[in-house]
Amino acid sequence: CEVKTDFIPFEQTGEASFINAPILFAGFGIVADEYSYNDYDGVDAKGAVVLILRGEPENEDTTRFRGKQNTRYGSLTEKLKTAKSKGALGVMVIDALRAPRKPFVSGFPWPAIYPNLSRATRPLQMQDTTRRLPALHVGERVVNFLLDSIKELVSHTRTIDSTLVPHSRILPGAHASFSIALDREIVKVRNVAGLLRGNEYPDEYVVMGAHYDHVGVGRANAEGDSIFNGADDNGSGTTGLLLAAEALASSSVRPARSVVFVAFSGEEKGLFGSKAYVRASPLPLSKCVAMTNMDMIGRCEFNKLSIGGNERCPDISKINAEENAAQIAPFDLAYDIEQYFFRSDQASFAMKRIPVIFYFTGEHKDYHKQGDEISKINMRDLVAITRLATRVTWRTAQLPRTTYIPAGFED
């Protein structure tokens, strides 16, 4: 097997070496007591390499997981923690195929996992890799060797989906040998923050955020263009953040609580900036009463504005609905972005049980591509969304309290 052809280390990988470890197919690699689901039930992962599916089971019974919506159990970070707690030596990850197709572009992992990165680009890590399990995304040849065929993989996935019963087993005659070592280069990046002090409870605060990083430079297209402009992702949210800061700072009336404006770095590499903020906030995190996030708010179509966090944060959701209805041209609010919830910075705050709201106008054909240009930005609606988010942030800062309803993924 060859790196980048048959397998590629995940950015979350650790370093390790071992020889001839048995391989355990552990379904989705999930232990979720609240959903009465355990892929490790009845099997022993100690000293084994676990082979797991990406994502989580999909079933119409939303009392067991959330149908096709994500829970925290689908994240690779959670799966690696679980595998380590079970004594596994390493993890191999494959796509959870629900149709008989190839899991990778031409069978190769690299362009499938990192389609917009040049081959010289290295994914980043924030945490100490010595405490992590080695984790690989494996390709078609590995799948065919371990499970006989792609069709068998599809069959396993469908069986787990339909029954919500694990299908874990030791793979007879299969063994894995790993030797993973990483070159480390320390790169310093910074969040940029500003503070507007409240006039009644200045020690308590609402965070208003947007990430200011983007993919940047990547694989060139047929025209030779390798610059990913990032006008919508996330020049739009960053612009909204600056407009909101200017509007609130220039107001003659201060909010009751402080507002902290944060331009997060490293979102595209794994929410690094927001994770760093909640881990080592310059202000006590216990005093953070809510977080407003704007990510990709510049390509509104058909008057649709997607909102995240509404189920967990009813107080803010109610305010948002009221403020939207009060606008001259209200948006059609959609609450359909659960699959994106863990992919933007509000997730780092929600993990700490801080109420959040997430503004998003949706993916498009230029997402993480060269075509994400300023000429395609819907400026009128960008301003309207920013105005809405600003008013919601202001009113949230006035609330006597905010409510967070746990969804089962929090720390």
Same domain, 169 and 202: no
In terms of domains, do 228 and 203 share one? yes
**Do 176 and 219 lie in a common domain?**
no
In this structure, the answer to whether residues 252 and 117 fall within a common structural domain is: no
* pLDDT number for residue 111: 44
Could you read off the pLDDT of 96-146 as tens digits, one per residue? 666 544 444 334 344 444 444 444 344 455 455 446 788 888 877 787 777
| Strand stretches in 310-398, DSSP E | 332-334, 356-360
Give tens-digit pLDDT for 73-94: 888 888 999 999 999 999 999 8
- CATH classification at residue 151: 3.50.30.30
Whether residues 159 and 196 share a domain: the answer is no
> How far apart are the C-alpha atoms of 340 and 334, rounded to whole Å?
13
Residues 241 and 218 in one domain: yes
| CATH number of the domain within which 350 lies | 3.40.630.10
Within a domain: residue 375?
yes
Pairing status of strand 356-360 against strand 192-196:
unpaired
Which has more confidence, 50 or 144? 50
Does residue 260 sit in the same domain as residue 357? yes
| Final residue before a domain boundary, out of 138, 158, 180 | 180
207 and 159 in one domain? no
Chosen domain end from 128, 149, 180: 180
Paired with 290 in beta bridges are 206
Is residue 410 situated within a structural domain? Answer: no
Alpha helices for 166-224 (secondary structure H): none
Q: Which of 54-58, 101-105, 273-277 is predicted with the least confidence, judged by mean pLDDT?
A: 101-105
pLDDT higher than 50, residue 36: yes
**What's the confidence (pLDDT) of residue 147?**
76
Could you tell me if 25 and 157 lie in one domain?
A: yes
Distance CA 90, CA 175 (A): 12
pLDDT at 21: 93
Could you tell me if 257 and 128 lie in one domain?
A: no
Bigger pLDDT: 155 or 234?
234
- The pLDDT tens digits for 208-233 are 999 999 988 888 888 899 999 999 99
Most confident by average pLDDT, 20-34, 104-118, 249-263? 249-263
Q: Is residue 408 part of a domain?
A: no
Do 155 and 245 reside in the same domain of the chain?
no
User: What pLDDT band is residue 270 in, cutting at 50, 70 and 90?
Assistant: confident
Q: Can you give the pLDDT at residue 303? A: 96
Within a domain: residue 186?
no
Does some domain include residue 172? Answer: yes
Mode of pairing for the β-strands spanning 356-360 and 304-308: antiparallel
Q: Could you give the CA distance from residue 57 to residue 41 in angstroms, rounded to a whole number?
A: 16
**pTM of full prediction above 0.85:** no
Distance, in Å, from the CA atom of 127 to the CA atom of 138, rounded to the nearest integer, reads 23
pLDDT value at residue 31: 95
> What total number of domains does the chain contain?
2
Between 178 and 346, name the one with better pLDDT: 346
Of the candidates 30, 40, 39, the one whose C-alpha atom is nearest the C-alpha of residue 73 is 30
Question: What does the alpha-carbon distance between residue 115 and residue 263 come to, in Å, rounded to a whole number?
Answer: 26
The pLDDT value recorded for residue 149 is 67
In the predicted model, what is the mean pLDDT of the chain? 86
Classify residue 38: in a domain, yes or no. yes
Assess if residue 406 is contained within a domain.
no
- Span 25-43, average pLDDT: 93
Q: Is pLDDT of 403 > 90?
A: no
Residue 403 lies in a domain: no
pLDDT surpasses 90 at 150: no
| Domain finish residue from 123, 147, 180 | 180
Domain residue limits at 54: 7-180
Q: How far apart are CA 28 and CA 160, in angstroms?
A: 9
> What is the per-residue pLDDT for 135?
87
Asked if residue 47 has pLDDT above 70, the reply is yes
| Predicted confidence band of residue 292 (pLDDT cuts 50, 70, 90) | very high
The band of 361, judged by pLDDT with boundaries at 50, 70 and 90, is very high
Same domain, 283 and 256: yes
CA distance 302 to 199: 39
